[in-house]
Amino acid sequence: MKGYKITKPFTLNEVEINEEIPSSAQAKVKVSKALITLSDVLRFRGELECDEIVLGSSGIGLVSEAETNLFGLEKGKRVYIDPTKTCEECYNCKKGNYNKCSNPLSAGEDYDGFIRDFVATAPDKLFTLPNSVSDIDSLYIDYISRGIAIFDKMNIQKGDYVAVLGANNFGNIFSQLLIYYQAVPIIMTLDEENLQIAKDSGIYYALGPNDNWQKEVLAITSGRLPDKVVFISDSNISPSKAFALAGQSTQVAFTGLFHKSANISFLPAVKKQLDILCINSGFGNTATSINLIANKAIDFSHLKLGGTKYTNVLDAFNTLSEQYEKEGKIYETIVEMI
């Protein structure tokens, strides 16, 4: 098995990956598509710490090897590979409470990601994809799973106004999820292109860099401010904005696909007695996310995406790194592995 592994900043090498299938309770998947996200690019640039690891935080593929009657995983089945694993070491894992794992592990961050030809994994990490779920849409299952986790942990209700600070693809998808469940997102961004994408995606309240966010949010909510505030950490927005937009005792969630160190003053949060949540995983929500895609709950058609082939991965990372250097963002890129 082969894959592209980062060995030092700005260096990817195609290497042999020795990943044995240790028991009959495992399956082997030929990866067909993987997704390069901003977190992958920042690891490539050395701005996020990581060991030598295969990048690619999301992947799908075709079952190539599986024992007979192993959870219906027949050879040739198109599957989504769950990118989150439990640590198996914390108190909750040892007690069998895996959904409360204290240190969930993410592909491309804590263990090898999906820019490789094959993956060997336990069958419960593989989810058969219905024909109504396209390859491209399925690469965003983890985004929806994280959105569901935010929705559940904040106990968002029908009619709630939710300020979403960050209109990258994750913020966009989460805002559409809010609309599906009949909450009211107010999405905010410093990026004009993402602002237009949000509007094209049907997010009615979308505020950009030229809007007075405080004034507009007060007008939208009839002066009572949002019921919940969600801050997307990879949005280039100051965390202080989340505290400024929150009313007294409001819930504020810090989330995102990756998290860089930042200096944050919690004095405004203390003064307002805000309820701060940190949400970093969508573990356990994969099946629900697939059903939401199948039911057309999310419109992915307006998202800005790039594409490359497996053989051109290094060139793609160099191009994306240059884009980040110039624009402070990237276009998430699908790697065609086959």
Confidence of residue 318 (pLDDT cuts 50, 70, 90): very high
- Helix, strand or coil for residue 22? coil
From 15-24, 77-86, 227-236, the region with the lowest mean pLDDT: 15-24
* pLDDT given for residue 35 in this prediction: 97
Tokens of 9: 């900043």
Asked whether the predicted pLDDT for residue 202 surpasses 90, the reply is yes
> Is the pLDDT assigned to residue 186 strictly greater than 90?
yes
Looking at the predicted structure, is the pLDDT value of residue 69 above 70?
no
Mean pLDDT of the chain: 91
* Helix extents (H) in the chain: 38-44, 91-94, 135-138, 141-154, 169-180, 192-200, 213-220, 240-245, 267-272, 286-294, 313-327
CB 150 within 8 A of CB 173: no
Query: Mean pLDDT across the stretch 242-251?
Result: 95
Among 36-40, 72-76, 196-200, 281-285, the range scoring the smallest mean pLDDT is: 72-76
Q: Do 81 and 114 contact (CB within 8 A), yes or no?
A: yes
Are the beta carbons of 49 and 246 closer than 8 angstroms?
no
User: Using CA atoms, how far apart are residues 157 and 154, in angstroms rounded to an integer?
Assistant: 9
pLDDT confidence of residue 157:
97
Give the SS3 label for residue 174: helix
Nearest partner of 50 among 105, 115, 120, 117, judged by Cα: 105
Which tokens is 83 given?
């990118």
Higher pLDDT, 64 or 72: 64
pLDDT single digits (tens) 250-289? 999 999 887 666 778 899 999 999 999 999 889 889 999 9
**Which pLDDT belongs to residue 226?**
97
Phi-psi region of 273 (alpha: psi -120 to 50; beta: other; left: phi over 0): left
Residue 19 clears pLDDT 80, i.e. is over it: no
Does residue 230 carry a pLDDT above 70?
yes
- What is the average per-residue pLDDT within 78-90? 91
According to the model, what pLDDT value does residue 25 have? 59
Give the domain ranges of the chain.
2-140+300-336, 144-278
Cβ-based neighbours of 168, under 8 Å, separated by 6 or more: 38, 189, 191, 194, 232, 234, 235, 329
Domain 144-278 fold is Rossmann fold (3.40.50)
Binned at pLDDT 50, 70 and 90, residue 94 comes out as confident
* Superfamily holding 2-140+300-336: Medium-chain alcohol dehydrogenases, catalytic domain (3.90.180.10)
Quick one: pLDDT at residue 85? 86
pLDDT at 207: 98
Q: Is the pLDDT of residue 304 over 80?
A: yes
Quick: pLDDT tens for 107-162: 988 899 999 999 988 888 999 999 999 999 999 999 999 999 999 999 999 999 99
Angstrom CA distances, 247 to 11, 37, 240, 310, stand at 46, 33, 13, 48
Average pLDDT over residues 280-299: 94
- Position 280 scores a pLDDT of 87
CA angle, residues 172, 157, 134, in degrees to nearest 5: 35
The stretch 320-330 carries a mean pLDDT of: 94
Q: State yes or no: pLDDT of 34 exceeds 90.
A: yes
Cβ distance 246 to 226 under 8 Å? yes
Task: Output the CA angle 94-260-303, nearest 5 degrees.
Answer: 95
Contact yes or no for 197/304 (Cβ under 8 A):
yes
pLDDT at 68 over 70: no
